[in-house]
Every structure is written in C-alpha cells, then in structure tokens.
Amino acid sequence: MNIDKRLVRKDSLEKLFDILKQNSKKIFAPSTKNGKISFRDAEKFSGIVTGYVQTSQSSKEVAFPRTEKIFDYSKSKDGMSVKGIDLKDIPEVILWGVRPCDATGIGELSSVFNWDYKDEIYNNRLSKITVFGFSCNNSDEYCFCTSVGGNPGNTEGSDILFTQTGENSDYLAEIITEKGLAIVSLAPDLFEITNNIEKNKFLAKVPVRFNHEEIKEKLDKFFESKEWIEQSLRCIGCGACAYVCPTCACFDIQDEAHGRKGSRVRCWDSCGFSHFTLHTSGHNPRDVQSQRWRQRIMHKFSYMPERLSVYGCTGCGRCSRACPVDMNILEHLISIQEVTV
Amino acid sequence: MMDNLYMPYLMRIERITYEAPGVKTFMLRFVNEADQAKFSYKAGQFGEYSVYGVGESTFCIASPPTRKGYIECTFRQTGKVTNALSGCEEGSIIGFRGPYGNIFPIDEWKGKNLLFIAGGIALPPMRCVIWNALDMRENFKDVTIIYGARTVKDLVYKDELKDWELRKDVKLITTVDPGGESPDWHGEIGFVPTVVEKIAPSSKDTIAIVCGPPVMIKYTFPVLAKLGFADENIYTTLENRMKCGFGKCGRCNVGRVYVCKDGPVFTLAQLKELPDEY
C-alpha cells in the first residue's frame, strides 16, 4: 500500500479521540502515574501525556502483557477441567503515542513469537492493535535508533504515523496500512488533503554512533572476551533493562493456584537474573553476571540477527535510563566496536 | 486447543514404578482419545510435564515410539514440580505438552553396532533409544549397554536391566562407584569412563550414545577418542533449563544454538562447535 499523506489540525486530535471513543474503541495512551509514563486505558483526551522523549515503559506490554493468563483449570472429584484463554475476549485496541522505536520493536517481538511455532495468543493480540505512531521531535543522549537501522520518523510498525510540524503546530499523518485506513474512514473530515509536507526538518537529530552490522561481525569472535567482565562488574542483576525493553521477549511460565482452581500464566523474565538458567541440580550454565550480560548483548546483536534476521534492539535507550548502576548500552556497544579482539 | 501452544494434554497416571530412592516412572495415557490419535514422537524428544497449580518441568519421553498408546517419564524428586509429581497417585491427572526438539537418527544407524553409555538418572533418555533399537533389533549388529550408578540402589529400571542381561542379543555391563556395591553385587565396580576403557568396545562401524552427569561425560569422551570413535559418531543429549520448549522463552540457548529446537540431541562434533555454556 502506498503511504497516503494527510494533514491533521492540532485541535483535531481530540476530535479524533472522541470519535474513536464514540465508536467504542479502546485507546491505550501514555499517562503519568507516580512520575512514570506508561501506556494505559485512556478515558479522556486530557489525560494523555505529550512532550515526552520516551515513555518509562515501552508499548510492548499491550501486545505482550507483563503477566498473561494461558488457561484456567479446576479440579473436582470427577477429574480435571481446563479452559484456555478465549481469543475472542482479547479486545481491539488503539495504541496511541507510540515512538517509532517502540513500533519497530513490535516487529522484532513478532519474529520471536513466530519462529517456527506460531504463538496464536500473541498473534491474536497483535492483530487487534492499531498503532498510532508519533515521530520524535526531540531526543536525548540515550537515544540511538539511527545506529540500529531506525530513525525518528520511521514508519515501520505504525499503522498511522503522526509527525508534529513544529511546536504547537498541526500534524502530518502518514496512513501506512489498511488498519490505518480504517481509522481514517471513521473520521475522514479530520484527515485533510495536503501538499507534500517535508517532515524531516521537524524530526529530532539522532547521530549514528556505531554500525550494528560491524558489531555483529565483531561479536562472532568476541564470546571469550574479557570485555564482558569489565562491562558488567557493576551490574547487580536487577533485570530492569529487560522490563523496560520494547523487544525483550524472554518469559517464565508459572502456576497460580487458589484452592482447587487456578491458572497458568506467562510472565516477563530476564536473562540478567541468576535463576534464569539455573538447573535443578544446582549447575548453572550462566553462573556469573558477566555471562548473563554477554547473553543479553549477544542475543540482541548476534543470535537474533543470525537466527531471525532481525536485531533485538531498537535504540530506544530505556535500559540505560532505567539502569540503577548507570550502565549505558550505547557506551558498551561503542567500546565493543573499538576493542581489539 | 490448536490455538494455544501452551495448553497441555490431560494425561492419566496409569502406573507408577519405584525405580530408585526418589526416582519414579509414570506410565501416562491420554485422557482424550482424540489427543492420542494425533500424537506421535520419535526417540530423543522431550516434553513439559505439569502438575496443575504447581507448574511445569522438562523431561524426555522415556518410552520408545515403537510402543503405542502411552508414554512414560522417569524423574527424580528434586524441585517443586518433581516433588508435586512424586505426590501424585495412580489415577491422578497431570498435564503434558510436546513432543519438542530433534531426534536420535536411529534410521541412519542401521547396519551398525550400537554402544550405549549411561550414568545414573541419565538412563531414561537413552532407554527410549535402546528399546526403539531392540524393537527393530534385526537392523543393527552388536548392541552394548554400559550403565553405572553411584550405588546398587541408585540403578534405575532394575527389571529391564535383568531383561537385557538375559538377552543373548544384548551385551550389558553394569557398574557402581567404588563403595556403592552390595554384598551380592556381581557387576563391575568403578566409574563409567574407567569401565569403558576396560571393556574397550570396538569403534569400527559403531555409534556411541552417551548420557550422564557432566563429569561422567567429560571423562568418557577422551576414552572414546582413544578407542578410535570419530566425533560424528558420538551422540549425546543436553538438558538445559527450559520453559516453553519451542524457542521463545530464551533460556536454553548455548550460544546461537537452542537446545529445545536445534537439540536436545547433538553429536560430539556439534558440541565442539559450541561455546562452553551448558
């Protein structure tokens, strides 16, 4: 589909929100709670936060919830009954205010969840999400999307991408997919015909800091490097990096029992945790933090590109912002590129 | 059900066998016949066994695909799930999903000698292959099984060991660690690698399948090399921690190789390509 470009007046966004609400659409948009910006069910347009460089949590959790029920079970005298999650109960959602780095992250998640075995729970959730991307007018020192193949106005992963054309100005809306087109058809008057707007001059300038293909090549011979120990000496294994990451897909499966009933759930996990790979025997293939840090970088920049043909990083910079001991993935990648093997 | 990769089959425990202290074998049948009808697997594959309300645990399928209508698993009571499994009685219902992973290429081994070397609780993954081969015995030349455990009590499948001992078409050597013997023990006394060296099976036209604790494997490979086994003719199975079983949960990989998808069966030649992360 050719990308159709329209003009959306600044004041029209609220009208669009209201029309979507009138059409019983569920809208997940950034809002602030306890000082953190996350994607939550938005009741009112006024509750939507704007002006952030990046939300605290990525939009990942709408497609891949932090804790997700797989099935319910109940035991009785006669036996056992098990009821799987009903895919029809998964609601249609508009994901509003997604930065391009999060939107591309969805594609990377999809590669994991469709590697040979198709994860229909994930696919169903994703099929019901319409992504309203919002290009970045600003960036900060943690951003590096341009080093991993992205850019502040990247249309990949969005159904409609809005780019604000200057401070307090109107928006350029790029209608990218059929899903996006379906939204336009609900409020056609708000999407005005426009002359070609050059969006690049309104976008944040994010310098390219490293070459991800060179990093991948370097990593092929880097497994035994002492650099992993150097870099991870201060890592406390808290897993915050994985929990804020838009592409981290590693999960745990746990049971929650309440008497004779209960459910099995899938929940986020992190390769940074010492228990992640611990065997029952006590043996642990990734026994120390440097091995776990190596896994994190190798998985994203070597194993995923090789096995799934995607990189597991979108350059959003959240892991560096969230790290309690100030590890900065950008600096670590640059030093990997610079170190001689 | 088709939509949900994580949905286990309901399995009824038909028979429980006490193998060794803390070790049991469950014979499991599908509660729903339709599940049974569409289920098939091959030697070497594994599954996720679960107690509802407690969680899932990964083990191989210990019975051979040549025996239809049921599957068996053998486990040692060590963690949360295996403790709960151990508390189950005959008739209880548990969950199973699978089969996952690659297979032992038994069909490619036709016309060759088979040498099985196992230690302790690692006989179960091999037992599936042994019975699979014995159920099509005419396809192979000599079948030799070397099995060791810490003590006589720790040997699993004691009835089957007797069975193999009596068979004329199987050469069985059992061993226990020094000090692990009982007064009436008539097998070998010594660690598995030492016994392999002593027996010195021929490497000519022979496939070696080795399963056991890491230390046993580590010291057995050099013995096999000395006997002239090529790395391509030595097979083993890795058992990293897993949650999903199909390449998504992210913890069983050894470098770029996923034990759940690329394994669990590897040749020594393949293992040598992997980083030391298992």
Helix, strand and coil in chain A, % to nearest 5: 35, 20, 45
Among chain B residues, the shortest Cα distance to A258 is held by B53
Helix ranges, B75-204 (H): 80-86, 123-134, 158-166, 192-199
Task: For chain A, give the mean pLDDT.
Answer: 94
Least confident of A269-278, A331-340, B11-20: A331-340
Which pLDDT score, from 0 to 100, does residue B1 have? 41
Residue written as tokens 């401070």? A167
Which pLDDT score, from 0 to 100, does residue A341 have? 65
Q: Is pLDDT of B273 > 60?
A: yes
Task: Specify the higher pLDDT residue, B188 or A280.
Answer: B188
The bridge status of strand A251-258 relative to strand A26-33 is unpaired
**Beta bridge partners of residue B119, listed in sequence order:** B148
Q: Is A115 on the interface with B (CB under 8 A)?
A: yes
- Please give the Cα distance from B128 to B121 (Å, whole number): 13
Contact B52 A249 (CB under 8 A): no
Into which CATH architecture does domain B106-237 fall? 3-Layer(aba) Sandwich (3.40)
Contact A115 B241 (CB under 8 A): no
The closest CB to that of B53, out of A253, A255, A291, belongs to A255
- pLDDT tens digit sequence for B56-99: 999 999 999 999 999 999 999 999 999 999 999 999 999 999 99
Residues on chain B touching A303 (C-beta within 8 angstroms) = 253, 255-256
Measure B50 CA to nearest chain A CA, in Å. 10
Burial class (CB within 10 angstroms; exposed 0-12, middle 13-18, buried 19+) of A229 = middle
**Which CA distances in Å does A20 have to A45, A86, A176, B272?**
11, 25, 18, 58
Residues on chain B touching A84 (C-beta within 8 angstroms) = 1, 3-4, 7
Nearest alpha carbon to residue B126 among B196, B74, B162: B74
Q: Is pLDDT of A295 > 80?
A: yes
Residues on chain B touching A298 (C-beta within 8 angstroms) = 255
Contact B253 A299 (CB under 8 A): yes
Share of chain B above pLDDT 70, in %: 99
The closest CB to that of B3, out of A120, A276, A306, belongs to A120
Strand order in the sheet with B46-51: B55-60, B46-51, B93-100, B9-20, B23-30, B71-76
Residues on chain B touching A277 (C-beta within 8 angstroms) = 240-241, 251-252
- Please give the Cα distance from A75 to A44 (Å, whole number): 43
3-state SS, one letter per residue, for B208-220 = EEEECCHHHHHHH
Q: Is pLDDT of A148 > 70?
A: yes
Which pLDDT score, from 0 to 100, does residue A24 have? 86
Is residue A153 a contact partner of residue A146, using CB atoms and an 8 Å limit? Answer: no
Residue A2 confidence class, pLDDT cut points 50, 70, 90: confident
- Please give the Cα distance from B150 to B230 (Å, whole number): 29
Buried b (16+ CB within 10 A) or exposed e, A283-308: ebbbeebbbbbbbbbbbbbbbbbebb
- Tell me the two tokens of residue B81: 């799930």
Residue A310 confidence class, pLDDT cut points 50, 70, 90: very high
- Please give the Cα distance from B118 to B123 (Å, whole number): 5
Contact A82 B7 (CB under 8 A): yes
Burial class (CB within 10 angstroms; exposed 0-12, middle 13-18, buried 19+) of A280 = middle
pTM above 0.80, yes or no: yes
Is residue B113 a contact partner of residue B140, using CB atoms and an 8 Å limit? Answer: yes
Measure B150 CA to nearest chain A CA, in Å. 16
Burial class (CB within 10 angstroms; exposed 0-12, middle 13-18, buried 19+) of B64 = buried
- Quickly list DSSP for A213-277: HHHHHHHTT-TT-THHHHHHTT-----HHHHH-SS---EEEEEEEETTEEEEEEEE--TTSTTTT
The bridge status of strand B265-267 relative to strand B257-258 is unpaired
Domain residue ranges in chain B:
9-100, 106-237
Residue B244 confidence class, pLDDT cut points 50, 70, 90: very high
Residue B158 confidence class, pLDDT cut points 50, 70, 90: very high
Q: What is the DSSP letter of B230?
A: -
Mean pLDDT of B33-54: 95
**How many CA atoms are closer than 13 Å to the CA of A334, on its beta-carbon side?**
12
The closest CB to that of B54, out of A80, A255, A306, belongs to A255
- The contacts of residue A89 (CB under 8 Å, 6+ apart) are none
- Please give the Cα distance from A261 to B116 (Å, whole number): 44
Helix ranges, chain A (H): 12-22, 60-63, 100-113, 120-127, 178-186, 212-219, 227-232, 240-244, 289-298, 304-308, 318-322, 329-338
Task: For chain B, give the mean pLDDT.
Answer: 95
Give me the residues of A, 194-233, that contact B with CB < 8 A.
Answer: 223-224
Nearest alpha carbon to residue A265 among B248, B82, B53, B85: B53
Strand order in the sheet with A171-175: A36-41, A26-33, A93-98, A129-134, A160-164, A171-175, A4-8, A192-193
- pLDDT tens digit sequence for A222-247: 999 999 999 999 999 999 999 999 99
Nearest alpha carbon to residue B21 among B66, B77, B74, B71: B77
Share of chain A above pLDDT 70, in %: 100
CATH class of B9-100: mainly beta
Q: Residue B258 carries which side chain, given as an amino acid letter?
A: Y
Mean pLDDT of B161-180: 96
Q: Is pLDDT of A325 > 70?
A: yes
Helix, strand and coil in chain B, % to nearest 5: 30, 30, 40
Mean pLDDT of B121-132: 95
Give me the residues of B, 232-251, that contact A with CB < 8 A.
Answer: 239-241, 243-244, 246-251
Contact A116 B261 (CB under 8 A): yes
The closest CB to that of A250, out of B95, B246, B250, belongs to B250
- The contacts of residue A127 (CB under 8 Å, 6+ apart) are none
